[in-house]
């Protein structure tokens, strides 16, 4: 039992979070009929997300596969105590990413921010020394 991971999680925390979000989305797409697993309350969901942020730097990549990480999570978030390691692991992986997580931990956020700044300021590539004269209006 358990999930097969389609790729190895990288060591960079931002990169790891980006891959974890991709893993969660890929899991959702791979088997939409799959049973949802634990039904967490809003408080438990928040504790599980916070535990993920806390444990990532301490236990490193793929921390959610380590039993001692879940023991630490249960100690720091008592609301998670009733659940086993496997239940918490599957619930963590199956969590849908929040919109803020997608913006903050994937390349989408910086991409949108840069394009928004370019749009608001009216910046044009033609205003740089690197433009091609034939590509810009006279």
Measured CA to CA in angstroms, residue 17 lies from 2, 51, 100, 133 at distances of 20, 13, 12, 42
Give the side-chain half-sphere CA count within 13 A for 34: 16
- Candidate ranges 34-38, 56-60, 110-114, 132-136; pick with highest mean pLDDT: 110-114
What mean pLDDT comes out for the span 19-25? 61
Give the side-chain half-sphere CA count within 13 A for 110: 5
What mean pLDDT comes out for the span 63-85? 91
| pLDDT given for residue 6 in this prediction | 46
Whether 45 shows a pLDDT value over 70: the answer reads yes
User: Model confidence over 94-130: pLDDT tens digits?
Assistant: 888 888 888 888 899 999 999 999 889 988 878 778 7
CB atoms within 10 A of CB 103: 15
- Interior CA angle at 11 toward 115 and 94, to 5°? 75
């Amino acid at each position: 039992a358990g999930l097969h991971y389609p790729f190895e999680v990288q060591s960079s925390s931002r990169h790891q979070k980006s891959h974890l979000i991709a893993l969660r989305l890929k899991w959702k797409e791979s088997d939409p009929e799959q049973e949802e697993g634990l039904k967490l309350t809003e408080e438990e969901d928040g504790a599980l997300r916070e535990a993920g942020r806390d444990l990532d730097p301490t236990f490193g990549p793929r921390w959610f596969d380590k039993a001692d990480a879940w023991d630490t999570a249960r100690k720091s978030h008592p609301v998670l105590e009733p659940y086993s390691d496997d239940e918490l692991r599957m619930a963590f992986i199956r969590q849908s990413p929040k919109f803020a997580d997608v913006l903050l931990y994937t390349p989408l956020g910086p991409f949108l921010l840069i394009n928004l700044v370019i749009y608001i300021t009216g910046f044009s590539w033609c205003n740089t020394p690197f433009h091609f004269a034939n590509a810009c209006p006279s």
